[in-house]
Amino acid sequence: MASMRVFAVLAAMSVLAAGGLCADAPAPKIAGVEWDGLTKAIQAIEKAKTPEEAARAFDLGCTVNRRSKRLQTAYMKKSLQFGRPDVAYYSAREILEQDRKDGLASGVMAYTYALRKQFIPAFPHAMRAVAAERENPSIAQNAAQLLAWHEATKRPAPIGELAVLVKKMQSRATAGKVFPGHYKKAKEGYAKLADEKKLLEDKAKVIDAEAKKLEDEIKKLAADLKRRGESYKQDARRADQARREIQRIDHDYRRTTRYDSRRNNESRRRAALRKLRDAERSMAKKYAEAKPIKKKKDELDKKLQGSKLRAGRLRRQANSVGVDEVPASFVWRPPAVDGVVTPDAKVAAAKAAAKPPATGGTKTTPKPSYLAPTQTKPIAAPKASSADRIAEAEAADKLGLAKIYASSATMAPAAKKLIAEILAKYPNTAAAKEARELQKKLP
């Protein structure tokens, strides 16, 4: 009889050892036989006081059966309780390979992806999680926000199992305790984004209308300047003709000795001189009239460029609103364990590191050490004085006239004279630099 009892005990031990490796069911207590190592590891995880203790117990459990759902679930819950959903993520992934409908594991996956702003993979996990864990406050909040995101950003319609889950959650948007409130807040957040987008688009349209008016005005000024430029060229041609005529008269005057011929030449020369003076006077008048028009056109050109830049910036902002974005009011929270939500320790640490240290409401800056040189701010370039700006404008005006004279061979001496004046009076201006280049090209 004694030998039969020993044989029965040995047989039970062999069955338990085999069950620890391949089965998930808890091992039954048998007189004289200890629980299997997997159950011990799970108990150690549940009783762990620190993340390190839980990790050591989990490692021991993995040596028995790493794929055990009980082991992975225990470690996932304990990691969440310690505020480490980033660690729970790996257990959640292992659990979902065995059971796609596990609500808590799906909630961990949805939270992790949402925190990374990977909302497309987060969405199906959130729908499965809330279908299984509808009373879990964090899972309900995350799912409500992701459902609002899916609807607001007009994602492709879900199919199969996901379509059923989405329809179920949309029907629950008006019934229940936890989910509807979060869903309503999320929808309000996207409504605010839509208002913001419309406001930006409306502002861009107003600026576009102003830019269109500026363009029309600039076109009129450009046409006016072109007309005046053509008239100026006609005067310049008349002046050139008068100069050539004077040269011919002077040549004839030197060749003739007859009194009447010389008197005739003098009369012709005076008439040609009058033509030359009239043409030059007309040129000077037209240049003076065109100068403020050109100035106004340049100012409007700059204003138009600024308007286009502002409108483009507003349009880019409007396009970025609501496209795979979420409102700033959305907050992602790790799933609750037994109704308790433990904040993400890593997220809290990152936020604390981003804040400056509080010292009684005032910022204190450490005194520079005498052992190291004090860092100083770079010296900003001095702003141009009003005298410098006036000099630049006057030099630019003279350069413009010099360019006009340089286009005519007979007026090249006048262009040289203006260039010499620019270099003498305004040597440090931008116009002086351009004038030197023009001087090299003149004969």
Give, for all 443 residues of the chain, the pLDDT tens digit: 334 343 333 333 333 333 333 334 444 443 333 357 889 999 999 999 999 999 999 999 998 898 899 999 999 999 999 999 999 999 999 999 999 999 999 999 999 999 998 988 999 999 999 888 888 999 999 999 998 888 887 777 778 888 888 887 877 766 667 788 888 888 888 888 777 778 888 888 989 998 899 999 999 999 988 998 898 999 899 889 988 888 888 777 776 666 566 677 778 888 888 888 998 888 898 888 888 999 998 999 998 899 889 888 888 877 776 655 677 778 899 999 988 999 888 888 887 777 765 555 454 454 443 343 444 444 444 555 656 777 787 788 788 777 777 777 777 788 888 888 888 888 888 888 888 888 888 87
Q: How far is 162 from 159, CA to CA, in rounded Å?
A: 6
Sign of the CA dihedral running 295, 301, 307, 313: negative
Q: Which run of H or of E encompasses 146?
A: helix 137-152
Query: pTM for this structure?
Result: 0.53
Residues 6+ apart with CB under 8 A from 388: none
Phi, psi at 337, each rounded to 5°: -115, 120
Q: Angle at which helices 259-320 and 386-406 pack, to 10 degrees? A: 130
What is the model's pLDDT at position 386? 57
**Closest alpha carbon to 104 in 123, 76, 124:** 76
* pLDDT tens profile 5-19: 433 333 333 333 333
**Closest alpha carbon to 67 in 93, 49, 89:** 93
Residues 6+ apart with CB under 8 A from 235: 279, 280, 282, 283, 286
Sign of the CA dihedral running 22, 23, 29, 30: negative
Give, in order, the Cα–Cα distances in Å from 179 to each of 46, 52, 340, 411, 417: 30, 35, 17, 86, 85
What is the model's pLDDT at position 183? 82
What is the model's pLDDT at position 252? 73
**Left (φ > 0), alpha (ψ -120 to 50) or beta: where does 361 sit?**
left
What is the model's pLDDT at position 93? 93
* pLDDT tens profile 338-361: 889 998 888 888 877 777 655 554
Give the start-to-end residue ranges of the domains of the chain. Answer: 197-320, 400-443
- Which segments of 321-429 does DSSP mark as H helices, in order? 345-354, 386-406, 412-425
Q: What is the DSSP string of 17-50?
A: HHHHHH--SPPPPBTTBPPPHHHHHHHHHHH-SS
Size of the chain, expressed as the number of residues it contains: 443
